[in-house]
Amino acid sequence: MLFGHPELLHLLWILPALLIFAIVAGYGRNRRVRQWGDEVLFQRLAPERSSLMRWFRFLAGLLALGFAIVTAARPQVGAQLVQVDRRGVDVVVALDVSLSMEATDVVPSRLARCQTTIRELFDGLRGDRMGVVLFSGTSFLLCPLTLDVVAANL
């Protein structure tokens, strides 16, 4: 299995340290309870303070932290790097999406006509990389250069 950030997996070492700390703290807590009185009596007086539930919550939190660390490391399954020999051109279409493109001097509108034309262009490109940039005052990269026709279609 590959990870996008494998260095983050070192944070998993925190989990055993937290577990050891919790065991030591639990032992100290039990010792303090025994100093003040009977542990069974304490459980009867404060049933919501069950040590079993406390451990369950702690272990659930520890498990959640472990999953969060693994998730942050970005596991990548089923991907492999493949050297692609490619011959072709790179086509980047810059499309104006300002309000003027909603004019109906072309049926149905300039924007819809441009989208149709761009789809036809991209469907004709095989082995070429394509990308789309939208602009209206400022530019926005809608799709970076890709061989995937479906991703580049508007």
**Coil, strand or helix at 37:** coil
Number of domains comprising the chain = 2
Tens of pLDDT, residue by residue over 48-91, are: 667 778 889 999 999 999 999 999 999 988 766 777 776 788 99
Residue 83 lies in a domain: no
d(CA 118, CA 121): 5
Residue 24 lies in a domain: yes
Q: Which residues are paired to 90 by β-bridges?
A: 129
Residue 11 lies in a domain: yes
The pTM of the full predicted model, rounded to 2 decimals, is 0.47
Residue 85 lies in a domain: no
62/102: higher pLDDT? 62
**What are the φ and ψ backbone dihedral angles of 109, each rounded to 5 degrees?**
-160, 165
Check pLDDT > 90 for residue 27. no
Measured from the Cβ of residue 104, the count of other Cβ atoms closer than 10 Å reads 9
DSSP state, 73? T
Same domain, 14 and 63: yes
pLDDT on residue 12 = 96
Contacts with 122 (C-beta within 8 Å, 6 or more apart), sequence order = 130, 149, 152, 153
Same domain, 59 and 95: no
Residue 98 lies in a domain: yes
Same domain, 8 and 68: yes
Full domain range(s) for residue 103: 90-152
